[in-house]
């Protein structure tokens, strides 16, 4: 039977994506101003079968949709959940309601969602539906040059946050029931201590960071012993949009002003912490802008000189050992096992994991990047793939930084507390040997010997990378990449120097 359109004025369809909040939601406000609103979230089975998606992502989404639905119900109209292919669902809703306006935020996400949005855009054009897509973060669509980007970011963030609507007109439409992860063939993935999703959790995390946890942020972010507590832990909430970037920026600035006006004689380490955190909010959008401008970097080397660098057959044994935390390097394995169990890891250790896979194990960055994407609850493709390439040396414009896992272990976990927590085989290993347990093999208790010799592997990788950077053609291509993607703020992105850096600058750490 053919469905008939409702005789009342057609609603505006509000398509929630990764903006799972009614607060500071420009797409929702636009929909409200245009008429009655039908709020919809589409669960796309094909998206959840992509190789970068996982059980932990779905669970965080479930938490977040529950909060969003409750907030919408309080406004008078609950969230309508639909399961299926977006164009088909939009066509069905269009047949029922005859809507002429679709609202959603600009989305810079993975390659699958990019192709999906192209299909939706074609459907809208063919159907005569106007698709409004306001920006959600400090990323500019259709950007030709990076000049002035920082000023545009600052201007956007300085604008007032948009209040939640005061009410929504009730529309009679049943919602599909929320599926379980297993309905989408998402198997349990060992994340026993996953961060909870939802706006309410996000607000609590923001408040605790700005008022209690964050004072030692600048110095505590490097070690996995202290970072889980001292870092903001807001990255997943920003990735799913339970909090807006602008909302976090405003909360930070308000806290800065309140602290400056405080009668206390000393503000402790807070000013430095806030300055560090503020810069990372900029970098968050800076890296997503790269993917917005050039979606291919999710799949291809940023610099073409590296296209044949790691094309030999994948060493499956190396990849599996790395994925399972069985490389024989305690800090690498402790970090991987911790990440599997919690869904989060501080930036320096993320960089070390990627560096070890790309340099020491000489694996092409794509497969390790997909594994890490599935592990990170806060997976954000724009940041993730740019970082995967940076830590693999394929951008052509960043300093080659090969993390020595033994040095990182000594620096960031000197007494082996973190290692012994996550590598129980080494709990009886004396502290003097915890970073290189192979020197005392009788105490290894089944823990594997190193999968490669660290120094030999590091030097071989370094030689290959620096050899590729010598020809003049490399510098010319690198300059084009800088022109397109480089920050105009000195010190963040620069053409590779001929000499290696003496240390890993802490300013490069920007996972919240």
Q: What are phi and psi of 146, to 5 degrees?
A: -80, -10
Q: Please name every residue paired with 37 in a beta bridge, in sequence order, or none if there are none.
A: 12
The 3-class SS string of 288-357 reads: HHHHHHCHHHHCCCCCHHHCCCCCCCCCHHHHHHHHHCCCCCHHHHHHHHHHHHHCCCCHHHHHHHHHHH
Cα 285 to Cα 487: distance, rounded to the nearest angstrom? 11
Give the pLDDT confidence score for residue 488 in this predicted structure: 55
> Is residue 322 a contact partner of residue 368, using CB atoms and an 8 Å limit?
yes
- Residue owning tokens 């600048």: 218
Angle at 380 between CA 79 and CA 362, to 5 degrees: 150
Give the pLDDT confidence score for residue 8 in this predicted structure: 61
Give the pLDDT confidence score for residue 489 in this predicted structure: 55
Nearest CA-CA partner of 56 in 204, 240, 273, 327:
240
- Considering only the top CATH level, what class is 298-508? mainly alpha
Give the pLDDT confidence score for residue 7 in this predicted structure: 39
pTM of the model: 0.94
> Is residue 23 a contact partner of residue 161, using CB atoms and an 8 Å limit?
yes
Nearest CA-CA partner of 200 in 161, 237, 151:
237
Cα 9 to Cα 11: distance, rounded to the nearest angstrom? 6
DSSP codes of every residue in 67-136 = HHHHHHHHHT-PPEEEES-HHHHHHHHHHHH---EEE-------HHHHHHHHHHHHHHHHHT-EEE----
Both tokens assigned to 24: 């500071």
Give the pLDDT confidence score for residue 408 in this predicted structure: 98
Angle at 483 between CA 480 and CA 484, to 5 degrees: 90
Chain center to CA of 228:
16
Note down pLDDT in tens along the chain; length 512 residues: 333 344 368 999 999 999 999 999 999 999 999 999 999 999 999 999 999 999 999 999 999 999 999 999 999 999 999 999 999 999 999 999 999 999 999 999 999 999 999 999 999 999 999 999 999 999 999 998 888 999 999 999 999 999 999 999 999 999 999 999 999 999 999 999 999 999 999 999 999 999 999 999 999 999 999 999 999 999 999 999 999 999 999 999 999 999 999 876 678 999 999 999 999 999 999 999 999 999 999 999 999 999 989 977 999 999 999 999 999 999 999 999 999 999 999 999 999 999 999 999 999 999 999 999 999 999 999 999 999 999 999 999 999 999 999 999 999 999 999 999 999 999 999 999 999 999 999 999 999 999 999 999 999 999 999 999 999 999 999 999 999 998 755 333 344 343 444 444 444 444 45
The 3-class SS string of 371-422 reads: HHHHHCCCCCHHHHHHHHHHCCCCCCCCCCCCCCHHHHHHHHCCCCHHHHHH
Give the pLDDT confidence score for residue 297 in this predicted structure: 98
Query: Strand 80-83's sheet: what is its strand order?
Result: 80-83, 37-43, 12-16, 101-103, 130-132
What are the boundaries of each domain within the chain? 12-136, 298-508
Neighbours of 239 (CB within 10 A): 23
Both tokens assigned to 432: 């003097």
Cα 21 to Cα 450: distance, rounded to the nearest angstrom? 47
Q: At what angle do helices 381-390 and 366-375 cross, to 10 degrees?
A: 140
Give the pLDDT confidence score for residue 495 in this predicted structure: 42
Cα dihedral sign for 240, 210, 390, 323? negative
Cα 334 to Cα 343: distance, rounded to the nearest angstrom? 13
The 3-class SS string of 10-44 reads: CCEEEEECCCCCCCCCHHHHHHHHHCCEEEEEEEC
12-136: in CATH 3.40.50.620: yes
Give the pLDDT confidence score for residue 312 in this predicted structure: 79
Give the pLDDT confidence score for residue 62 in this predicted structure: 98
């Amino acid at each position: 039977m053919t469905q008939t359109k409702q005789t009342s004025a057609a609603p505006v369809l509000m398509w929630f994506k990764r903006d799972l909040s009614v607060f500071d939601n420009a797409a929702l406000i636009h929909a409200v101003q245009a008429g009655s609103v039908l709020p919809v979230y589409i669960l796309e089975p094909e998206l959840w079968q992509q190789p970068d998606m996982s059980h932990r992502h779905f669970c965080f989404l479930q938490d977040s949709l529950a909060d969003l639905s409750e907030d919408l119900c309080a406004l008078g109209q609950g969230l309508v959940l639909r399961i299926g292919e977006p164009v088909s669902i939009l066509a069905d809703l269009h047949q029922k309601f005859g809507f002429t306006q679709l609202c959603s935020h600009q989305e810079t996400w993975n390659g699958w969602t990019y192709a999906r949005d192209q299909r939706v855009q074609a459907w809208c054009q063919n159907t005569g539906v106007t698709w409004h897509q306001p920006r959600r973060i400090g990323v500019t669509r259709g950007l030709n040059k990076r000049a002035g980007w920082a000023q545009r970011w600052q201007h956007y963030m300085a604008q007032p946050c948009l209040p939640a609507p005061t009410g929504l007109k009730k529309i009679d439409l049943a919602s599909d029931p929320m599926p379980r992860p297993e309905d989408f063939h998402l198997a349990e993935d060992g994340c026993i201590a996953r961060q909870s999703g939802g706006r309410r959790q996000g607000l609590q995390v923001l408040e605790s960071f700005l008022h209690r946890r964050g004072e030692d942020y600048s110095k505590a972010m490097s070690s996995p012993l202290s970072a889980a507590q001292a870092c903001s832990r807001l990255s997943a909430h920003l990735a799913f949009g339970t909090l807006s970037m602008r909302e976090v920026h405003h909360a930070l600035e308000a806290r800065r002003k309140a602290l400056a006006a405080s009668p206390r004689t000393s503000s402790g380490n807070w000013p430095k912490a806030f300055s560090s955190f503020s810069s990372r909010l900029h970098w968050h959008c800076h890296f997503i802008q790269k993917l917005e401008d050039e979606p291919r970097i999710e799949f291809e080397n940023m610099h073409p000189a590296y296209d044949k660098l790691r094309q030999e057959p994948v060493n499956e044994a190396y990849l599996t050992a790395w994925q399972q935390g069985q490389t024989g390097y305690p800090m690498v394995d402790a970090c991987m096992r911790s990440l599997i169990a919690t869904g989060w890891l501080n930036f320096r250790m993320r960089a070390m994991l990627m560096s070890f896979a790309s340099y020491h194990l000489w694996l092409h960055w794509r497969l390790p990047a997909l594994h890490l994407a599935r592990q990170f609850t806060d997976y954000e493709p724009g940041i993730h793939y740019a970082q995967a390439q940076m830590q693999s040396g394929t951008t052509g414009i960043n300093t080659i930084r090969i993390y020595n896992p033994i040095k990182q272990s000594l620096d960031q976990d000197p007494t082996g507390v973190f290692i012994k927590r996550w590598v129980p085989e080494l709990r009886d290993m004396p502290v003097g040997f915890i970073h290189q347990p192979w020197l005392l093999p009788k105490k290894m208790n089944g823990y594997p010997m190193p999968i490669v010799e660290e120094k030999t592997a590091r030097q071989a990788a370094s030689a290959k990378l620096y050899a590729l950077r010598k020809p003049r053609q490399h510098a010319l291509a690198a300059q084009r990449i800088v022109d397109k993607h480089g920050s105009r703020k000195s010190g963040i992105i620069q053409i590779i120097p001929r000499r290696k850096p003496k240390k890993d600058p802490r300013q490069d750490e920007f996972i919240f």
